[in-house]
Amino acid sequence: MATESYKLWGGMFSEEPCSALRRLNDSLPVDCRLYREDLRGSRAWAAELHASGHLTAVDHRDIQTGLDKVEAELEAELSQHGRLLDSAEDIHSAVEGRLRAHAGAAALRLHTARSRNDQSATDTRLWMLGALEAVQRELKDMITVMLKRAELEIDIIAPGYTHLQRAQPIRWSHFLLSHTWALRDDVARLKEQTGRASRSPLGSGALAGCALGIDRSRLAQRLGFRDVTPNSMYAVSCRDHVVEFLNTASLCGVHLSRLAEDLIIYSTQEFGFVKFTDEFSTGSSLMPQKRNPDGLELVRGAAGLLMGDAFAFSCVLKGLPSTYNKDLQSDKELLFRSYDKLMQCIKVASGCIDTMSVDSAKALSCLEPSMLATDLAHWLVRRGVPFRAAHHTVGAVLRRAQELGVDLQAMPHAEYVAICPEFGSEEELRSVFSWEASVEQYTTAGGTARAAVQDQIDQLKAWLAE
């Protein structure tokens, strides 16, 4: 481990930065997380310098061998201590300082025509590409869990709500899928962002480009990028890919939060539709009977933190002049924090859904005849009554039922036909009062009929299989 301070700058400075500036400036505790990407970029840069005739075969060999030793060193130190013990200001300085101990003078040639500006931008993009894939995988795993439940519980009928008021009967699976589609869109956004993130800034220098004849496309291909950034000033200052990720993480957090809120409500004694396992519940320090959905509450709370990070970084970027400014160093702290928080939330939400139990009898017991008021209106429409008139008529029926102190199902047939003869015979009218018949009306695409719900499941399974 290199114990001496190693700077990538400082030749014209006669004094060290003050301790307060060092504490604010040094980013090694944060960007040490990029050590693999920094080594990967350095290996590729050394190979390109050699391929383009700017690095001898001997120096190239010594650098590559030295970087292998540095990697083993860093991995061991991080594994043992959870941090790097360097006094270097960032991961780039730490890697190059350690390389000097292993490769000698050859290490001094590694940074030829390279700036920390394009080096840092490259490391971050490389890390982001892996992060984008990891979040997509985690979301797909959660979607798989939700589809499994939706398929198993497709015959459970439960209340659907608007304004938190009982509205219409729906299949429980239809509710689960409403959240599943939102997560599917999050995956699509992350995938779509990958194309823009997969452009290599390396070879852009500090801002003006590379003065040596290198092949940036060959370099990008070696690093696994799809393309190169088209403008060197843009390359070192652009953090749009970070903004996009933070915004998508924020939106995904909102989706997880809304799902968590629904399940938290449904787990209360007042609702009682779901129950969470001990693995995803906690208790009270005072009240022994409590079973708290703390996991989902933390998921719900995390949405605000994700939104805050997204907004905070946009504020950092808002007034920056061209091109690189040290303000941009904050990108990694917010990026890593949001990524970690989002991944934790997805795992907890997925685990809660995978292990929870659903009380189908309790869900069914919360259905009430007034929730079939829309079905009565549809009944009249099918008999030729204009919908607006049908809507008004059913309102009169509800009012009359309240006056009699009965529900819609118990109200005498004579009362119905007195209000509107088109309600038909008693036998025909009573057929409306069926939860299964109610949900099975909604056969159009996206509806809650069994076939329509199964079609949603099939679509999502086909999408996952692509």
Active-site residues, by number, are: 163, 284
Give the whole-angstrom CA distance, residue 441 versus residue 60: 72
DSSP summary character for residue 320: P
Cis peptide before 323 (omega within 30 of 0): yes
Question: DSSP secondary structure string, 408-455?
Answer: TTTS-HHHHHHH-GGG--HHHHHTT--HHHHHHT--STT-SSHHHHHH
Coil vs helix vs strand at 167: strand
Per the CB < 8 A criterion, the answer to whether 242 and 313 are in contact is: yes
Per the CB < 8 A criterion, the answer to whether 443 and 454 are in contact is: no
In terms of phi and psi (left: phi > 0; alpha: psi -120 to 50; beta: otherwise), the region of 253 is: alpha
- Side chain identity at 366, as an amino acid letter? C
Give the whole-angstrom CA distance, residue 78 versus residue 83: 5
Per the CB < 8 A criterion, the answer to whether 428 and 437 are in contact is: no
Give the whole-angstrom CA distance, residue 50 versus residue 61: 10
Catalogue the E-assigned strands of 224-321: 227-228, 274-275
Give the whole-angstrom CA distance, residue 401 versus residue 267: 32
